[in-house]
Amino acid sequence: MTAPRVAVIGGGLAGITAAIALAEAGAAVTLLEARPRLGGATCSFARDGLVVDTGQHIYLGCCTAYRGLLDTLGMTAHAPIQDRFDVTVLAPGPRSAGSGGTTPRSAGSGGTTPLTPRRGRLRRTALPGPLHMLPALGRYPFLSLAERASVARPALAMRRVDPAAPGVDEQRFGDWLAARGQSNRARRALWDLFTVSALNIAGDDASLSLAATVVKTGLLGQKNAADVGVPALPLGELQGDAAATLLAKLGAQVLLNAKVAAIDPAPAPAAPAPVPGAAAPDLAAHAPFPAATAPGPAPAALDLAHPVASADPAAPSCPRFRVRLARPVDPIDLADPAASSDAADATEIPADAVVLAVPHEAAARLIPPGALPEATVAGWAGLGASPIVNVHVIYDRPVLDLPFAAAIDSPVQWIFDRTRISGLNRLSTPASSASQSLQPNETGVSLRSSVVNPGFHYAADGAADSANAADGAHGAGDAAQRPQYLAISLSAADEYVDVPAATLREQLVPALAELLPAAREAQVIEFFVTRERRATFRQAPGTARLRPRAGTRLPGLVLAGAWTDTGWPDTMESAVRSGLAAAIELRHTVLSTGPAPSASDSSTTIGVGQ
């Protein structure tokens, strides 16, 4: 039995997931990634001895597919999760008189006494969902008593909202909340905490369908669904490096710096002459994939009880597709240098099946004509993009006594302590670098290395832009103090994505001092910014009908990516689910089932909780 050849285009989480699932099922997988490392948007780089994630990512208890991938990669021990949902919320203080008006700001260095910031805490109980959050909401200090009581109305109404129902995706979440008694203050101080970071769009502007998925799954579902997990390793090591290692063990070939120029379907073979008296062929077995649009159930685990084989016996000599590369493959671009270099100098990859797992704009350019209706392709090409900006601040002493915190009434949204994960706690003094700047579409990722090196990612000159202001020369400060590295994550960052780092410093360092009293006396010894200009598609009303399912009209060509129709927002969970859906689509169509493996086969299954 000849293993079918599958080309997976795109080495982000969707492509990684599909490649692992298909390789474990017995396919001969070639994973093609245009960048010099795996991981897609979830990657890391090195800067002045520190390991920096381009963006801060978290996962929740309900992210069963993503956590299943981490388990397959052997990374569960490095992906801890809270015993129960527990988030501290910070705000400048004190609270103004009345029922939740705007908060006055500190006078800064003008000689007045600094204002004491306020703290709230949202911590679930052991009660079953949705009762588990009621005590925390009842004590939430940033809303008046009347506003807290009013939260029950939309919470109860949300349980009756079907995200897939016609018309739901056409509504703005803010309009829906306002119609159910939620004031502007309640929407900003409570609902935005959950939806802005999850949907990467201003809370009022979000699709009701996607917001309902977030609220119903994370807050109104099982009691542990919203428990927060923060990676204990840099993302490059947790995902990209671990995936490269596993794929090498599975015999898959990973090509880096392998930019795909086109996907060429092979000409259809001539139909054999009919045999007199023979039965008519079963055309249904070869019908094009349906252009389904309705969200389906979460993909089940890929059945590995039987390895896959090509449904076409002639596939080894007559591939369905040829994937053309923009340039020949260089042997140095093999992720595993010890692997076979048969692909060296190749300009095209023959394949019996192709998984197109790239961002939606790139997918629109690469999908072959006729694979889907032109209107479908034009629709997803117009999904748009929303940016995320991450601000990295290193202080000469600890200023935050929590692993992470949220903020309201502030330009700061979420703060994370990255001292240990970055390796800062192992450095005596982080060097203050000269001013650097990113190219317009870069996110701080190096192009210096073309080989995945587990545990370390190189950073080129210009890996991130930094503000070289006066207090950047203070050094590590008092030797008795330990420096602390904070990352500020700004979602829906349209107003910040083009702001120079020096200007962001002028805005955000004082904002941090309003939230963290210890920061008022601390010195900033490093400040730099990473920008994800196209972090997600713009998750506004009307986008559900634009997100395609995995299947196409070309048998053997499937789509994957967090932007596809997974029923989830554009998140790491959606990316993994899409990769599984693509693998299952191929298994159910062009890849047939072979004999069961021997008892000694120890294949691992990537599963998705239902």
The answer to whether residue 62 sits within a structural domain is: yes
Average pLDDT, the chain: 82
The domain spanning residue 56 has which CATH number? 3.90.660.10
Same domain membership, residue 433 and residue 300: no
Residue 483 DSSP label: P
Residue 462 pLDDT > 50? no
Residue 230 pLDDT > 70? yes
pLDDT at position 353? 97
Contact 556, 311 (CB under 8 A): no
Q: What percentage of the chain carries pLDDT values higher than 90?
A: 69
Structure tokens at 52: 């920096």
Structural domain boundaries enclosing 402: 44-80+384-536
The answer to whether residue 199 sits within a structural domain is: yes
Contact 520, 117 (CB under 8 A): no
Residue 261 pLDDT > 80? yes
pLDDT at position 606? 52
The answer to whether residue 104 sits within a structural domain is: no
Contact 438, 462 (CB under 8 A): yes
Residue 602 pLDDT > 80? no
Q: Please name every residue paired with 29 in a beta bridge, in sequence order, or none if there are none.
A: 6
pLDDT at position 249? 97
pLDDT at position 29? 97
Question: Which of 268-272, 322-326, 371-375, 417-421 is the least confident region?
Answer: 268-272
Residue 137 pLDDT > 50? yes
Same domain membership, residue 402 and residue 480: yes
Q: Please name every residue paired with 276 in a beta bridge, in sequence order, or none if there are none.
A: none
**How many structural domains is the chain composed of?**
3
The answer to whether residue 99 sits within a structural domain is: no
Contact 152, 124 (CB under 8 A): no
Same domain membership, residue 130 and residue 184: yes
| Interatomic CA distance for residues 591 and 298, integer angstroms | 21
In tens, the pLDDT along 277-303 reads 444 333 233 323 233 333 344 454 444
DSSP string, 121-144: EEE--SSPTTGGGHHHHHT-TTS-
Structure tokens at 598: 């021997």
The answer to whether residue 96 sits within a structural domain is: no
Question: Which of 55-69, 332-346, 377-391, 542-556 is the least confident region?
Answer: 332-346
Same domain membership, residue 491 and residue 349: no
Same domain membership, residue 506 and residue 395: yes
In tens, the pLDDT along 28-52 reads 999 999 999 999 988 999 998 999 9
Residue 344 to residues 4, 10, 321, 430: CA-CA distances in angstroms? 21, 19, 19, 40
Among the candidates 515, 536, 557, a domain finishes at 536
| Interatomic CA distance for residues 324 and 7, integer angstroms | 11
Same domain membership, residue 154 and residue 248: no
The domain spanning residue 140 has which CATH number? 1.10.405
The answer to whether residue 91 sits within a structural domain is: no
Q: pLDDT band for position 471 (50/70/90)?
A: very low
- Residue that has been written with the tokens 């679930």 in this structure: 124
| Interatomic CA distance for residues 609 and 605, integer angstroms | 12
Residue 75 pLDDT > 80? yes
- Residue that has been written with the tokens 């809270």 in this structure: 82
Residue 83 pLDDT > 60? yes
Pairing, β 59-60 against β 228-229: antiparallel
CA 225 to chain centre: 18
Same domain membership, residue 395 and residue 492: yes
| Among 270, 258, 294, residue whose Cα is nearest residue 168 | 294
Structure tokens at 18: 């599909």
Count Cβ neighbours within 10 Å for each residue of 31-68 and write b for 16 or more, e otherwise.
bbbbbbbbbbbbbbbbbbebbbbbbbbbbbbbbbbbbb
| Interatomic CA distance for residues 414 and 389, integer angstroms | 11
Same domain membership, residue 216 and residue 259: no
Among the candidates 536, 559, 582, a domain finishes at 536
Same domain membership, residue 308 and residue 378: yes
Q: Please name every residue paired with 405 in a beta bridge, in sequence order, or none if there are none.
A: 415
Q: What is the pTM of this model?
A: 0.82
pLDDT at position 459? 30
In tens, the pLDDT along 302-323 reads 444 455 555 444 444 689 999 9
The answer to whether residue 22 sits within a structural domain is: yes
pLDDT at position 335? 57
In tens, the pLDDT along 86-105 reads 999 999 987 544 444 444 44
Residue 454 pLDDT > 70? no
Among the candidates 519, 536, 553, a domain finishes at 536
| Interatomic CA distance for residues 98 and 145, integer angstroms | 11
Same domain membership, residue 491 and residue 455: yes
| Interatomic CA distance for residues 140 and 406, integer angstroms | 13
- Residue that has been written with the tokens 């506003």 in this structure: 147
The answer to whether residue 601 sits within a structural domain is: no
Q: Please name every residue paired with 325 in a beta bridge, in sequence order, or none if there are none.
A: 260
| Among 415, 390, 386, residue whose Cα is nearest residue 403 | 415
Start-to-end CA span in the chain (Å): 33
Same domain membership, residue 498 and residue 477: yes
Residue 116 to residues 147, 417, 520: CA-CA distances in angstroms? 24, 21, 12
Name 222's Cβ contacts closer than 8 Å, sequence gap at least 6: 61, 62, 129
| Interatomic CA distance for residues 70 and 609, integer angstroms | 14
Residue 334 pLDDT > 70? no
Contact 44, 452 (CB under 8 A): no
Same domain membership, residue 420 and residue 363: no
Residue 436 pLDDT > 70? no
